[in-house]
Structure 1
């Protein structure tokens, strides 16, 4: 069976399977579990209506349990064993992480990414959204700025490898340095500490388009009467932007910021493609991948650490999104 037929068959089985499940489960609920008897028909109907929503939720809850809860619990248990998976060692893997200088460096670098990338991408997206809304060709400008979102992280990294190349005839950064009289070409990815920021530029370049689109829609949702009233009161463009517009879309700004933060905590492709985690650029996901092939227990422990770091941000992001929908 070809891939096309497999896809069609999977869709048909999924759709008709769901229809059959809901139809059969409602019949069992109404006619077998809570039959409408004459003596307690009203009570049975109310009981069936109380259970019915759970029939619709059960497939989703089952899938979440199977593909989310079970792997998380299994990973935590796996992190309590050694590499062979036979010897229980408790929290030894976590103690090894705490004593590993490379792990502490990865945590520090991840903290830098979390502080710089979401703030820079959100700020640039907000500024660009405001400026392009005032241009006649703003739609074209937005399309060009959003275009990096269509590129994979690996593809974007390969593009920026040419920008950072230590050959002035190829690397744009070194060409600019030589133009201003620098001594010779350097490899920016091997400059301690600052090479982390050179890698961050790639993700900022990608995510600025995402922030711009979301924030541009939020800016367009601000009532024109508010802007006109501020202009009549003598407010200049900077006052209108920072004191009128930004406060009104602060909820959207925070949602964009936290969404990019979650992405930053999981980013792996850029660091792996550009430096492989070398030259002091190691972050938690690349550190996890490094140990996955030589110490499964420690890699699983790192995965759980990343999940613990991401979870509070996700919960806060969901709450902010719910506030925006009210």
Structure 2
């Protein structure tokens, strides 16, 4: 353990030292290369100063741009290239992989499941987060409730899946049930079920896990937005005789609607990339496969098929990009109105 701690500390020290050295070296190099030599005239000196001012930000941005290119831009280009090749990335196939994708039953089923996730998870997470944000401000232990609801955000998707696996656990019809859901069903006189094998319902039960996690995120953002509503507006509505429900729907929601959209689209991006929960809970069996898991299967299982795996990856990226761009524009527009 001490060796690991020492290694981590050494990495931090070396990294900080390298950053300081780069910062000092870049400044020294710019000043050395673009400093006026000899008397020179004032025009040349002013030109060199402007040139240094223009170059300096790019010098400091270079490490970030370099690693961004290596670890993000190049993989995207290479993945797109592989979509036109066979399983080994050697023989050119043209658009055959794209044609296969849209004719494949597993791919279509994954798209259907992804659409279900996109409709249910962001909507329910945002709705529950908004309801909790409103109700928690009305009770004295509201901050405690918010803390408890936000806690799942600190758990990894795999950790949350392990927790919920015990909730949905099934030990056979004659066995004593340790799964909370089946124990409740059995206590009420019902028949325990292998919930994760029931088509459609198993996908919904998996969605519950992500809703449980993301509700805390939505609650925090929307709670902050609700605090930005002028108190005078709410008081005026109450004086005019508006009920709490009318205030909620006619004043609160319109006031924070841009924030609601940002929260909704942020969760949507998370849903489009969902992978861990499905892998840990069902491994994509019983009709629960989503695009990310299908990509993983084609890319890394059964010998791997770089062409088809890359095709699915590009489809996921194409689905994410428009939502991400809209989210950024919406956030910038909201910032500009403040």
- Same topology, TM > 0.5: yes
Which of residues 174, 179, 192 in structure 2 aligns to 1:185? 192
Matching residue of 2:164: 160
Distance 2:280 2:23 in 1: 47
Q: Is it true that 1:60 corresponds to 2:68 in the alignment?
A: no
Distance 1:192 1:282 in 2: 11
Aligned-residue offset at 1:181: 4.7
Aligned-residue offset at 1:212: 0.9
Matching residue of 1:95: 99
Q: Contact conserved, 1:271 with 1:282, CA < 8 A, in 2?
A: yes
Matching residue of 1:71: 75
Matching residue of 1:306: 316
Matching residue of 2:141: 137
Q: Is it true that 1:260 corresponds to 2:267 in the alignment?
A: yes
Residues 1-10 or 314-323, more deviating: 1-10
Q: C-alpha root-mean-square deviation of aligned residues, in Å? A: 2.0
Q: Contact conserved, 1:189 with 1:195, CA < 8 A, in 2?
A: yes
Aligned-residue offset at 1:14: 2.4
Once the two structures are superposed, residues 9-51 of structure 1 have per-residue CA deviations (whole angstroms, 9 ceiling, x without a partner) of 3323322322222332233323314637325212221222122
Matching residue of 1:173: 181
Query: What aligned pairs does 1:1-326 form with structure 2 within 5 A after superposition?
Result: 2-33=3-34, 35=36, 37-38=40-41, 39-167=43-171, 169-182=177-190, 184-292=191-299, 293-294=301-302, 295-326=305-336
Distance 2:157 2:63 in 1: 33
Matched residue count: 325
Distance 2:44 2:123 in 1: 61
- Could you state the TM-score of these two structures normalised by the residue count of structure 2? 0.89
Residues 152-161 or 255-264, more deviating: 152-161
Once the two structures are superposed, residues 258-313 of structure 1 have per-residue CA deviations (whole angstroms, 9 ceiling, x without a partner) of 11111111111111122111111110011111112232221121112111111111
Once the two structures are superposed, residues 104-148 of structure 1 have per-residue CA deviations (whole angstroms, 9 ceiling, x without a partner) of 000110011011100000000000110011000111111221222
In structure 1, runs of 5+ residues without a counterpart are: none
In structure 2, runs of 5+ residues without a counterpart are: none
Q: Contact conserved, 1:34 with 1:47, CA < 8 A, in 2?
A: no
Aligned-residue offset at 1:3: 2.8
Distance 1:5 1:178 in 2: 53
- Could you state the TM-score of these two structures normalised by the residue count of structure 1? 0.92
